[in-house]
Amino acid sequence: MASIREVAQEAGVGVGTVSRALNGSGYVSPETKKKIEKAAKKLNYTPNELARNLYHNRTGIVGVVVPDLDHPFFSALVKHIEMELYEQGYKTMICNTVGISRREQEYLDMLERNMVDGIITASHGLEVEEYQKQTKPIVSIDRDLGARIPLIGCDHEKGGELAARLMLAARRKKVLAILGIAPKVIANDRYTAFMKMLKENGVTVKQEVMEWNIFNWEAYYKFAEETFRSHPDIDGIFSGDLAALACLNVAQRRGIRVPEELSIIGFDAMAPSSMVYPQLTAVRQNVELLAEVSVNTLLDLVEQRKNVPHRLILDVEMQPGGTA
């Protein structure tokens, strides 16, 4: 493997000039930079990434904290965050908390010890105060962690209203909302908006609360079975994708016709929602854009490129399906 001195010799410049050109750490004329890049390519020179990051007082690593990669939304989110970070020259360290706040705390400790350059968190297990103690770059997805930490999320309120309009169009009269409520999470807005619109139009709305950090299929299926036993007269269900799919499964096993007798609307519109029949009608979050905006916001903080707004809310849309 060629050394930086060999690149300098090939290009006919000093070692310091090569370092500035390849690390972006100082001015080098365009003509000289082109000559250095040509020499580096000819010699198959690979810059020392560790040395470059140390020069900039960075690690080149970003921590991403999510509750559970078994959940289709979080697995897709992490996938797109990792791809976006890689495109921008960063590596990704993933923390799958699985409901254990200690794991989340350990990642915050890594940020404090300069082992990662910043954190994108979509987990809700740790107390808000622990995040508020931090002064280093953090971006939060869906959860309000205070004025100093940017919040990125989708328009849950609009999503709830879109779902309510479909229920009204289907003339539903007794609707169940299945909530997964976590503290200070803007996802709660979807249920508030949904229930408000239906009640204003004379629809009876009931609610069931499911623990927000339970993501295994067996738990959803068991919850769906209990839902139909407790609410045999409902004609509409609104919930996250997994609970909606479990309810669709149980309804079909019970001989309930969907959507003729029962409307089911999900939220997220992840891949599994389009792999069932009928396809799940659901509010779609743009996960690719959510990942891109979260990464760019964090790197704006890490690289001090510009000031960032505290709150960025992205649009949602309906995924047409056959369940509403």
Domain membership flag for residue 20: yes
Beta partners for residue 152, in sequence order: 141, 312
Name the phi and psi angles at 89, rounded to 5: 85, 20
What is the distance between the alpha carbons of residues 93 and 86, in angstroms, rounded to a whole number?
12
Say whether both 86 and 164 belong to one domain. Answer: no
Output the pLDDT for position 25.
62
Does 104 reside within a domain? yes
Residue range(s) defining the domain that contains residue 279: 156-285
- CATH number of the domain residue 173 falls in: 3.40.50.2300
Asked if residue 323 belongs to a domain, the reply is: no
Question: What distance lies between CA 301 and its chain's CA centroid?
Answer: 18
So what's the pLDDT on residue 213?
67
Q: Is residue 321 part of a domain?
A: no
Whether residue 86 sits in one domain with residue 23: no
Say yes or no: 102 and 114 in one domain.
yes
Q: What is the pLDDT of residue 303?
A: 84
Pick out the chain residues at pLDDT < 50: none
Omega cis (within 30) before 259? yes
d(CA 214, CA 159): 22
Q: How far is CA 87 from CA 82, 120, 287, 296, 297, in A?
A: 9, 16, 17, 11, 15
Q: What are the C-alpha distances in Å from 98 to residues 65, 66, 254, 284?
A: 10, 8, 32, 24
Give per-residue pLDDT as tens, 148-181.
999 999 999 999 999 999 999 999 999 999 998 7
pTM over 0.85: no
Both 24 and 144 in one domain: the answer is no
DSSP assignment of 199-250 equals HHTT-EEEEEE--TT---HHHHHHHHHHHHHH-TT--EEE--HHHHHHHHHH
Q: What is the pLDDT of residue 51?
A: 59
Tokens standing for 290?
């959510």
Decide: 246 and 220 in contact? Cβ < 8 Å.
yes
Instruction: Say if residue 307 is in the same domain as residue 211.
Output: no
- Is residue 70 assigned to a domain? yes
Around Cβ 299, how many Cβ atoms within 10 Å? Answer: 22
